[in-house]
Each structure stands twice: as structure tokens, then as C-alpha cells.
Structure 1
Amino acid sequence: MHPAVTTPAQLDERYGRGPRRRLPMIVGGAIAVAAIGVFGWWTVQGSANTVDVTDRGFDLTDAHTVTVSFQISAPADRPVHCILEAQDVEFGIVGWKVIDYPASSQRARAFTERIPVVGEATTGLVNSCWVS
């Protein structure tokens, strides 16, 4: 007896090859590429709106004022908003101020701001900054 001849179509069916199996893989690959593209775009957009802050120091001006010096690096031509804080020895907030800086063509800018306080402050700092 002669062995049966196996055709390529029968081999494809036996081992899961063929057009029926390729379509889900192609669709899955396309979805994966699209997802990677979306997450990549979100990452780029998120970093494009980042504001870096460098505290340069503080001065306990008097019993009612703390002066904070800092530098920001932010996207050019975008307004920046910052929250400044004065804290006491137990890190409680004894003064704060929200500052709005207009858009500027300069990416890096330095500022010195005064924060009014309601208690004895031991430090002044920038809590956070963001673009709008």
C-alpha cells in the first residue's frame, strides 16, 4: 500500500497555517502598533508641558515675610503658574502664594517672590509649577 500524498493545503490545515490564521495576527499587530504610537504621543506631549523648578534659596525677611528665589525651565510662549509655600519647623504651611507668570519667549527664567506668613516660618519653597 502506498502512503497517501499530503498536499500543502492539508499540511497548512494540520499545523495551523493559512489565511485563516494570518488575519488575526495582522489585526493584532496593527492594534499593537497603534497602541504604541498613542502611548508614545502621550509621553511626548506630557514632557513638552513639563516645568522644571530649581530652588535657589530663601530668606526669612521678617516675622511676616519669607522671600523665595527660584528658577523655572518651561516651554516657551506658554503661561506658567506656581505655588509657593512657607513652612514652620514641623513642616506645617504658615504662608502660601499662587503666582501667574505670563508667556515668555525665554525657556529659563529666574524669580524672587515674597510670601506673607501668619506664623514663624523656617523655610520657603516652590511647591509646584505648571503650564496652561
Structure 2
Amino acid sequence: MTEMQTTDGRVPETAHVTFPEGRYGRRRESKRRRPAVTAALTVGVVLAGLFAAWRLSEVYGQNEVSERLRGFDDSVPGQVTVEFEVYKPAGEGATCAVRSRDLAGAEIGYAEVDIPADDATHVVMSYPLAVEGVPNTGEVLRCWQTD
């Protein structure tokens, strides 16, 4: 047993280990800590993230117009009748994108349906959509407020 080890084989905490010069590369000096710079960068990143979230919610946030598909009827060849509800502000118009897809998922019909501006906030629409093929679905992709 050497004088640097304890009886159970551990090196005591007070022992200082020195490595042969140049054998394991250059020892790095400890860097000077700069807590003010770290704090400023952290605050800057958080503020930039909050600004980006606010801006994206302004651009892509909750729309005042919403839609709900009630059903579709594909019994007439060459057309799908799509029935849907639109909730919009009173006195404002809206436009809804309606489409139909075939069994493979290819889009076979698409239209943008205008909902007129009136005092109603809830409108039920039934739109006959012309299709090119055998339809499998009738969908309302989204609705948006028109100027």
C-alpha cells in the first residue's frame, strides 16, 4: 500500500494528483465567470421568444370566424353537397374553402364559398361542389373573415 491510498483503496481528498508534463495535453485554465453577461443574454432570449410568440399569435391566432362540418351527400354523380355551419361576427362576411377527395386521397373538387355579410352570427350553408371522379369525402378546410 502506498502512502496516497487508504486501506480500502480510495485516494484521500487531500491528495494532490500531478500529471506528467505534456503527456495529457495542455491543462485548461478556469474561465472567468460573467454572471451579468449570462443574465443579460438569458433575458434577451426570453424577450425575443415572447415577442415572436406575440407576433405569431397576432398573425395566425384565433380567427373570429369558425366552421363545423355537418355532413356531405355524394349520392348525385359528379357532385358532393357539403353542409356546414359558420360562426362569424354580425355584419361581417366570410369565405370558406370546401373540397372533396377520392378514396386515394387526391383532391377532386375545390371551391371557395362566400357567406354574405348580414346580421346573423350563425349561418348554415349547403353547397353543391362539382367533382371530377368518385368522391369519398366532403370537407370544409377553413373559413376566414372577408373585408
TM-score w.r.t. the length of structure 2 is 0.57
1:98 to 91, 112, 120: 112
Correspondence for 1:68: 82
Correspondence for 1:129: 143
Structure 1 runs, 4 residues or longer, greater than 4 Å off:
none
CA RMSD of aligned residues (A): 2.4
Alignment map for 1:32-71 (pairs within 5 Å):
39=54, 47=62, 49-71=63-85
1-structure distance, mates of 2:133, 2:68: 25
Which amino acid in the other structure matches residue 112 of structure 1? S
Q: What secondary structure, in the 3-state scheme, does the structure 1 residue paired with 2:90 have?
A: coil
Asked which structure has the greater RCO (Cα within 8 Å, sep 6+), the reply is 1
How many residues were matched structurally?
A: 95
Unpaired runs of at least 5, structure 1:
1-31
- Structure with higher Rg: it is 2
Cα deviation code 1:38-61 (max 9, x no counterpart):
x49x75xx54x4211111000003
| Percentage of pairs with the same residue | 28
Bigger strand fraction? 1
Unpaired runs of at least 5, structure 2:
1-46
